[in-house]
Structure 1
Amino acid sequence: MKPRKPPRRVKLTIAYQGTQYQGWQRQKRFKSIQGTLEKLLSNLLSEKIELTASGRTDAGVHAKAQVASFLHHSSFPTGRLCYVLNYHLPEDIIVIKAEDAALDFHPRYSAQGKIYEYRIDNAPVRDPQKAFQAWHVSDPLNVEAMREAVKYWVGEHDFASFKSQGSSAKTTVRRIDSIEIIHSGAEILLIFRGNGFLYNMVRIMTAVLVMIGKEKLSPEDALRLLEAKDRTLAPWTAPPQGLYLSEVIY
């Protein structure tokens, strides 16, 4: 038997539309982004490949630049991975970049921060073309009130009120560097930048902002909910289709 080649680590940057998938994480019974990529990579490299990602996106959530890595022992050139993978991948997944990485590189623990986007379609009538790319909110939203509210969340805080059950995070303290709200026509784009986000944190915060935009909550309620550290006081969660993992910062 020939001796095994030394391991090599490859870093992938991946974009996908999550509509047809039960999220990133590999599942036995349902189609996932991770499972689709691992099956293809395992066949291509003739060994079992396991991907580690910067984080798990839920069913219906999209990514512009998800980062994942894997170890392998083959001599397949990294420079050809994008071409070969994209030739075989379905149209809603594409590998933007494949590059060699240090053996100790970890997509999650090596990351310095993340950027998420959330898209809201605020037209009076739902646009079916945007049904799986944005959250349709027909009620007019007070964008200035929403901008006032996000000021309370910028900085390092305990975001326990904005964490869904099931999170394995050891601490609920996170740092948000900025939250930008761009209003153009009927589209409202929320851009969250921070050193990390709790499970469903962006979707919960978005739902609170929509309540503030509808003037069912005040901008000051954003601070009240933050300081309460009580998830039951912010029971809303925005739907998944408007959420995009935009960038992982290293």
Structure 2
Amino acid sequence: MTVLDLNCDVAEGFGAWRIADDDALLEVVSSANIACGFHAGDPATMRRACATAVAQGVAIGAHVGYRDLAGFGRRHLDLTPTELTDDVLYQLGALRAFAEAEGGRVGYVKPHGALYGAIGSDEAQAGAVVEAVRQFDDTLPVLGMPGSRWLALAAAAGLPAVHEAFLDRGYTPQGRLVSRRSPDALLSDPELVARRCVRLAEAGEIVAVDGTVLAVDARSVCVHSDTPGSLELARAARAALTGAGVTLRSFV
């Protein structure tokens, strides 16, 4: 029987600003990437997400990013490795405080936005994030794209490296994510997302925007909370996967 994790970004609000219905999403997914205050999230939002995740039996992941609230963490920052290590370690510590206060724990790390993209190929920044995780907990799993420098360096450092795929993002023929500036960047049709996740589970394939069939080995699949209709997409993915006999369970 196939086992997959369904993850989603949550706590990506700030003050009165809300991105999605976190409580509803946490009823659907098996892992929650909780924003840690740098690209989004504030103390009350982070704590509420941790409390709800614990109540729902959902794994808590640290969704660390660049210090860029105004740009939602989607603008690249040219930080030194030391600066980036310290910024990531700071975010991990903040989330651990709230997770443990609510009876949970930080179970894995998944970078966000521009940081996620940068550490796919940037050796220095990828190494800096790996170093932050290693200093925080050298047994902590990390989540990322297959073939990324981030996962390669994490595995070399002894961290469990987990591959993920995206249900709501377009892929290039090279297996990268299409730029968010492109009209092909987002998939917002629940039926299309449902078909994509079943094909991924059953055949290990994703179709790129030009029709190229990509082989993708993933233990976790992601829906972004800021994709239009994210809750419907997550529900469609869960229903399709369970209907195909897939067991939804976190990898931690």
Q: TM-score range with shorter-chain normalisation? A: under 0.3
Larger fraction in helix: 2
- TM-score normalised per structure 1: 0.26
Larger-gyration structure (1/2)? 1
- TM-score normalised per structure 2: 0.25
Larger fraction in strand: 1
